[in-house]
Amino acid sequence: MKDTCWNSPIWRLNNAYAIQNKTGHIVTFSPNRDQADFIDTTRHGLNFVLKRSRQGGLTSIVLMLMLDECLFAKNIKCGLVEPTYRAASNVLSKIKMAYDKVPTELKEACPLVSESKHELTWANGSTIYTGTSVKKGESHDMLSISEFNVIQERLPDLAADMERSLLGAMARHGQCFVSSDAESAGAILGLYDMAEMNSNGIDHNGFFIFG
């Protein structure tokens, strides 16, 4: 990638990736105001960002941030935890579509070497997986847990396991994004509190409630 503009994550997030809009058309992704504010929040080094709803396209910006990180850094490990297998498959297909639409030069610089229903792996060692639980034994650079309140209601044992092991599943400077509906923001605050108590000395830089 010879053009120096590719060295800027902000430029890439405004020009390099594609999404399907609400009318079903494939368009170049360009962060809206909420998404731009969310990017700014993540750049402050906070590693536990709580999203109180899926409104404002916050799920889309998390997917684009993960894809961008994987393509421009080596050995990045990203996880997407969804409340159902169908939702998990859907978010991974969005990332795959965005990758398919990047310029040929970028795909040649970082080719996809393995693809399944649950995981994408690139030649630089970076991976994104998706599922209904956090992958055991993985040290995540970026981890997203969607609708944690739903997971608590449907699978309380799984939610409790996440509370005990969440920060232990994060890389030293990793970032975790957790969403809940607006009425259940307490669920993700409780997740953070439990994770903090079970962090076993792992460094983390606090949290920010967004939305």
Is 65 or 211 the better-scoring residue by pLDDT?
65
How many contiguous H segments (helices) and E segments (strands) does the chain have?
8, 10
CB contact at 8 A, 143 and 204: no
Give the pair of three-digit tokens for residue 118.
């649950």
**pLDDT digits 0-9 by tens, 125-160:** 999 999 988 887 778 899 888 887 788 788 888 777
3 state DSSP class of 172: strand
CB contact at 8 A, 144 and 80: yes
pLDDT for position 31: 92
pLDDT for position 184: 55
CB contact at 8 A, 171 and 69: no
Give the pair of three-digit tokens for residue 4.
């120096």
Burial class (CB in 10 A: 0-12, 13-18, 19+), 70: buried
Q: What is the mean pLDDT of residues 69-75?
A: 96
Name 48's bridge partners. 176, 207
Structural domains in the chain, sorted by start:
32-210 (3.40.50.300)
Q: What is the mean pLDDT of residues 184-192?
A: 59
**pLDDT digits 0-9 by tens, 54-70:** 556 888 999 999 999 99
pTM: 0.85
